[in-house]
Amino acid sequence: MSEIYDFDREIERRDTNSAKWEKYRGRDILPMWVADSDFAVAPPIVEAMHRRVDHPVYGYAHTAKPLQELIAARMQRLYDWQVSPDWVVMLPGIVGALHLACRATGRAGEGAYVPQVIYPPFARAPSFHGMHNLTMPMTWRDERLLLDLDWLERQPAKPGQILLFCNPQNPGGTCYRRDELERLVALVEDKQWILCSDEVHCDLVLEAGLQHIPVASLGSGIEQRSITLMAPSKTFNLAGLGCAFAIVPEPKLRKAMTTNPFIVPHVNVIGLAAAEAAYRHCDEWNRQQCIYLAANRDLLRERINRLPGLKLGPVEATYLAWIDVSALGLDDPPAFFEAAGIGMSPGKDFGDSGYMRLNFACPRSRLELAIERIERAVEAHQN
Ligand SMILES: Cc1ncc(COP(=O)(O)O)c(C=O)c1O
């Protein structure tokens, strides 16, 4: 019998340096914005960190061979993707990796394809390297937010030009299907672009019957022109531990992505211990977490879609709900919801001010309270 984990438990996060909770300190606003969860991590992770802490020297980390091997085996087991451990580049974060990917592929004055809507650091990364954004539009189909591949097909070929992609999609919650990814791959190969695929939410597919597919696993052609970014941070709630990785099969690209100690810090040694424990021992914990999150999503969706003026699509993956509030006709949606006691991420930051993003990775009791507050505010607004 496997252990039953308790995701209902309310954990006090004030005074723990939590970005999420400090933002609204002293105000009666439920923090449901930045993407970390309010769940306690799985016990084997805490035990592994304790063991590492008990060795009282915390110098620079070097390679993480057992973890790289574990990641390669995980890719094989979960996705039937044969990855060499040498392709795995350990990095302290995914956002830094987006910057490295821009630097690795582009020069000042060149363009980088960036989706709109998207997690905000994507849209900022190219400009830090003197590059400009080539904004890729997205379209809604059957309530799913997808890259507009017809638009992309019309763009010119340019060897080595980078395209920043996100799957599962933040903020849309889309889990891309095989045929959709195959069409993207055909375009990337045809136009000779480089694909940087942020798959940090890959273990958080909530919809039964759907499966994450790493886009680079679709063939040797795309493998050679791709950078895949993953981490245990979202899944296992380790975002504060600075441990992520890129899978880069092509050697020159990999060299360019390899941590430059003058710009990118080393990976955190405690984070390495936590990541290894997460990938080695915590699949069952995450299976239960996804069931809990799916129930949170169902509750949220049902109640939100009952409200006039609000709309929420299926959220196939991630714990982030991209809520269409445009029909409410609000001047300032973030301020409206903060006044009602719910602190969400403004859609404007992601490229669409008609939306708000709500993080539902919290105990159900808190989600229920948030929903009640939204209902009350929306009803008062309509009257
Ligand atoms: C798609 C995506 N990429 C990257 C990140 C942040 O990753 P990191 O904290 O490793 O920089 C997030 C966090 O919300 C995210 O949703």
State pLDDT tens for residues 301-326.
999 999 999 999 999 999 999 999 99
- Closest CA to ligand 1's atom 1: 170
Rounded CA-CA distance 323/330 in Å is 14
Q: Mind listing the pLDDT tens digit for each residue in 5-51?
A: 999 999 999 999 999 999 999 999 999 999 999 999 999 999 999 99
- Most informative mutation of 200, 236, 320, 349 for ligand 1 (most atoms within 8 A of CB): 200
Ligand 1 close to Cβ of residue 235 (< 6 A): no
pLDDT for the residue numbered 16: 95
pLDDT for the residue numbered 113: 98
Ligand 1 close to Cβ of residue 170 (< 6 A): yes
Q: Which domains does the chain have, with CATH numbers?
A: 19-42+283-382 (3.90.1150.10), 47-281 (3.40.640.10)
- Most informative mutation of 36, 89, 94, 169 for ligand 1 (most atoms within 8 A of CB): 94
- Closest CA to ligand 1's atom 14: 35
pLDDT for the residue numbered 172: 98
CA of 91 to the centre of ligand 1 (A): 13
Residues in the chain predicted with pLDDT less than 50, given as ranges, are none
**CA of 34, closest atom in ligand 1:** 14
pLDDT for the residue numbered 261: 59
* 288 to 68, 249, 368: CA distances (angstroms): 25, 32, 20
Strand order in the sheet with 320-324: 311-312, 320-324, 355-359, 345-346
> How large is the C-alpha radius of gyration of the chain?
21
Rounded CA-CA distance 190/73 in Å is 30
pLDDT for the residue numbered 2: 80
